[in-house]
């Protein structure tokens, strides 16, 4: 796999640069989707010394992009431990000499002061493009330019030239304070292709074709294989109808039943998944999505996102249970709960894969025998003729939609360019892909999702009771009538106010809760926390991200039944923020001290999660 190597250094004998780590974090955030989708391997060193740089380049022959942030000049990079590298071109040229052909290192970005003196030597060893400076640069401006450059370049279809031009435009919008240190009268030197009044220049190798370098796309639009193209149907719901037919064939009792297999499928999928399928088929009064267009496309993207999120939280719950049983696992390479900034680029497939990798060497941690299903699903994701191209396509859609309407609509225009019936085609394409994902996840219909409304001890003095704990449950499946509470008796108690995944058994089966995966606090039924009505309609929320720090840290959830296409007058009704002292709720919802205490425990639970499972910084 091709690599991108990021390095920064705080040279001890030089003026401190407080923004270096923030610069690398911004670049890491921009490039994270490419790493998570296995398009590039991202290596990052926030305190690089001479040995680190040397070892990275000698041990990794396929580095395609190198970014350096720190003190530098026209001859050297100044590194940690008072080290420095002169003549970096010699090091960067080693791979070319060994391979005898083109240098795999195509871009070097030297984001330090006056680094232009190193450009010619880098070109001489075959580096295709160098971004360098011809003067002293401001720390904050350097951070913003680099962040904008990589954020643009990581966007599907954007070229190296477009990324640099966008970054330059960003520089021209900076306020005077952030631009301090610029000499706005300095023009690019003659061998630079741009005449921007800023210290940065993009210097293209004169020995290589200019257009090839300028048009270099880091994130290519994924071509769909024949299998997916053949699955695209001319009408909405047709791809999904074919999935329903396959589901019917796989369930013996449905083959001769008069039940509508669509309704059975929707009901058997967990509510988190089934609610979107219900909306896509417009089986509720007042909801219509008959025409394939951007509205239906948004719903398909949301359905895909919630399906993959469910798999991620299910596998994380299994991992947490394993850690709680005393198993040790290697640190996860990401924060368990993303920040608000990182949320838009969170790839739930990547997280599911990582959770499963940690679980592989553990025993007795799979009470529902889910791991074989997960492995089969991930094998389909890795198959270039299977789900992988659709995964790449849907992840870009998901990120664009989460970022905002402007980026979503820009991606829609880009993907629709030159195609007849453009918006219709995009929606039908996404529907065929989503149907493929649902097909790979039909194993979920073998399980049931429940919300635990209350647990009552049913025990009389001096009398033995085999199952003294009465659990009042509501099955969380996309029902078409008011959900009803069922009672399950058990020898021991589970947890209050939680969501449980169980085998598909009757509610009165004493063995129903013997083998479970607890999905709280990743999913919450707000109705179970408020009031004493165990029959109240479920209001299920899913964890999105965290914001704030310390006492002010909040964990933010969203309502799973929200309509992505609806402009809500009170958007806050679809959000639930868990705080250190309870929760922030809409004004019309009354919650007393007891309910707030319950929500407060969720905050403690999430903090415990972050302490239990190790994560890298």
C-beta of residue 47 within 8 angstroms of C-beta of residue 9: yes
- pLDDT at position 76 is 83
Averaged pLDDT for residues 195-205: 77
Residue 29 has pLDDT above 80, yes or no: yes
Query: Which string of b and e fits 376-403 if b means at least 16 CB within 10 Å?
Result: ebbebbeeeebbbbbbbbbbbbbbbbbe
* 244 bridge partner residues: none
Total domains, the chain: 3
**Domain at 85, CATH number:** 3.40.50.1460
- Greater pLDDT, 406 or 591: 406
Q: Where among 183, 214, 245 does a domain terminate?
A: 214
- Tell me: do 152 and 236 sit in the same domain: no
- Tell me: do 365 and 309 sit in the same domain: yes
- pLDDT at position 305 is 97
Question: Is residue 134 in a domain?
Answer: yes
Task: Report how far residue 353's alpha carbon sits from residue 376's, in angstroms, rounded to the nearest whole number.
Answer: 11
- Tell me: do 151 and 182 sit in the same domain: yes
Order across the sheet with 41-45: list the strands: 41-45, 3-9, 63-70, 107-111, 129-133, 200-204
Task: Report how far residue 148's alpha carbon sits from residue 169's, in angstroms, rounded to the nearest whole number.
Answer: 10
- Tell me: do 16 and 164 sit in the same domain: yes
* Residue pLDDT, tens place only, 125-184: 889 999 999 888 888 889 999 999 999 999 999 999 999 999 988 888 876 434 433 332
Instruction: Output DSSP code: residue 548.
Output: S
Task: Report how far residue 16's alpha carbon sits from residue 14's, in angstroms, rounded to the nearest whole number.
Answer: 6
Residue 109 has pLDDT above 70, yes or no: yes
- Tell me: do 235 and 145 sit in the same domain: no
- Tell me: do 201 and 255 sit in the same domain: no
- Tell me: do 495 and 602 sit in the same domain: yes
Domain of residue 96 covers 3-214
Query: What is the rounded radius of gyration, in angstroms, for the C-alpha atoms of the chain?
Result: 27
| Among 334, 344, 459, 322, CA closest to 398 | 344
Residue 570 has pLDDT above 50, yes or no: yes
- Tell me: do 429 and 554 sit in the same domain: no
Mean pLDDT of the chain: 85
* Residue pLDDT, tens place only, 394-417: 999 999 999 999 999 999 999 988
Pure H helices in 37-183: 50-59, 88-92, 94-99, 119-124, 139-153, 160-171
Residue 345 has pLDDT above 70, yes or no: yes
Q: Minimum mean pLDDT among 86-95, 250-259, 317-326, 559-568: which range? A: 86-95
Strand ranges (DSSP E) for 182-300? Answer: 200-204
* pTM of this structure: 0.90
Question: Is residue 337 in a domain?
Answer: yes
- Tell me: do 154 and 36 sit in the same domain: yes
Q: How many residues does the chain have?
A: 617
Averaged pLDDT for residues 510-527: 89
């Amino acid at each position: 796999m091709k690599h991108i190597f990021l390095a920064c250094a705080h040279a001890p004998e030089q003026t401190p640069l407080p923004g270096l780590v923030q610069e690398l974090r911004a670049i890491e955030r921009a490039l994270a989707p490419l790493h998570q989708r296995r398009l590039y391997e991202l290596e990052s060193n926030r305190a690089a010394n001479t040995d680190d740089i040397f070892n990275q380049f000698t041990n990794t022959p396929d580095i395609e992009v190198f970014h350096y942030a720190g003190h530098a000049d026209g001859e050297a990079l100044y590194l940690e431990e008072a080290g420095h590298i002169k003549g970096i071109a010699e090091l960067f040229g080693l791979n070319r000499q060994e391979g005898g052909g083109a240098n795999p290192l195509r871009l070097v970005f030297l984001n330090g002061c006056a680094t232009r003196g190193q450009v010619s030597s880098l070109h001489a060893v075959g580096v295709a493009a160098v971004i360098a400076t011809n003067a002293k640069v401001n720390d904050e401006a350097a951070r913003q330019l680099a962040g904008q450059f990589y954020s643009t370049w990581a966007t599907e279809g954007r070229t190296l030239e477009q990324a640099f031009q966008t970054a330059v435009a960003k520089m021209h919008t900076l306020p005077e304070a952030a631009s301090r240190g610029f000499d706005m009268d300095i023009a690019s030197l003659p061998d630079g292709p741009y005449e921007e009044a800023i210290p940065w220049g993009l210097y293209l190798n004169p020995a290589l074709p200019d257009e090839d370098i300028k048009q270099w796309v880091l994130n290519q639009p994924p071509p769909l294989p024949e299998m997916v193209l053949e699955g695209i149907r001319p009408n909405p719901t047709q791809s999904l109808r074919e999935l329903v037919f396959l589901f019917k064939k796989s369930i013996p009792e449905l083959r001769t039943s008069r039940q509508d297999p669509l309704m059975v499928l929707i009901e058997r999928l967990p509510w988190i998944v089934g609610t979107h399928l219900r909306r896509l088929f417009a089986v509720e009064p007042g909801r219509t999505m008959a025409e394939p267009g951007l509205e239906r496309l948004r719903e398909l993207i949301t359905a895909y996102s919630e399906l993959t999120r469910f798999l991620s939280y299910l596998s994380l719950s299994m991992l947490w249970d394993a850690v709680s049983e005393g198993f040790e696992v290697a640190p996860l390479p990401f924060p368990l709960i993303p920040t608000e900034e990182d949320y838009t680029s969170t790839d739930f497939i990547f997280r599911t894969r990582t959770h499963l990798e940690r679980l592989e060497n553990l025993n007795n941690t799979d009470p529902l025998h889910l791991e074989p299903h997960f492995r089969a699903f991930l094998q389909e994701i890795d198959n270039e003729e299977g789900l992988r191209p659709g995964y790449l396509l849907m992840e870009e859609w998901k990120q664009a939609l989460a970022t905002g309407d402007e980026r979503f609509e820009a991606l829609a225009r880009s993907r629709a360019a030159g195609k007849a019936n453009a918006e219709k085609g995009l929606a039908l394409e996404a529907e065929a892909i989503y149907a493929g994902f649902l097909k790979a996840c039909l194993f979920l219909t073998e399980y049931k999702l429940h919300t635990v409304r209350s647990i009552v001890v049913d025990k009389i003095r001096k009398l033995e009771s085999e199952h003294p704990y009465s659990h009042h449950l509501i099955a969380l499946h996309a029902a078409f009538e008011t959900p009803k509470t069922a009672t399950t008796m058990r020898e021991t108690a589970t947890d209050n106010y939680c969501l449980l995944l169980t085998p598909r058994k009757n509610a009165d089966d004493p063995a129903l809760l013997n083998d479970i995966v607890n999905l709280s606090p990743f999913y919450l039924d707000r109705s179970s926390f408020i009031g004493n009505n165990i029959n109240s309609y479920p209001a299920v929320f899913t964890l999105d991200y965290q914001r704030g720090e310390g006492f002010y840290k909040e964990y933010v959830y969203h309502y799973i039944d929200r309509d992505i296409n609806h402009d809500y007058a009170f958007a806050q009704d679809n959000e639930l923020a868990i705080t250190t002292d309870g929760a922030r709720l809409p004004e019309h919802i009354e919650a007393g001290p007891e309910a707030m205490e319950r929500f407060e425990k969720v905050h403690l639970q999430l903090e415990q999660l972050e302490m239990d499972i190790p994560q890298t910084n």
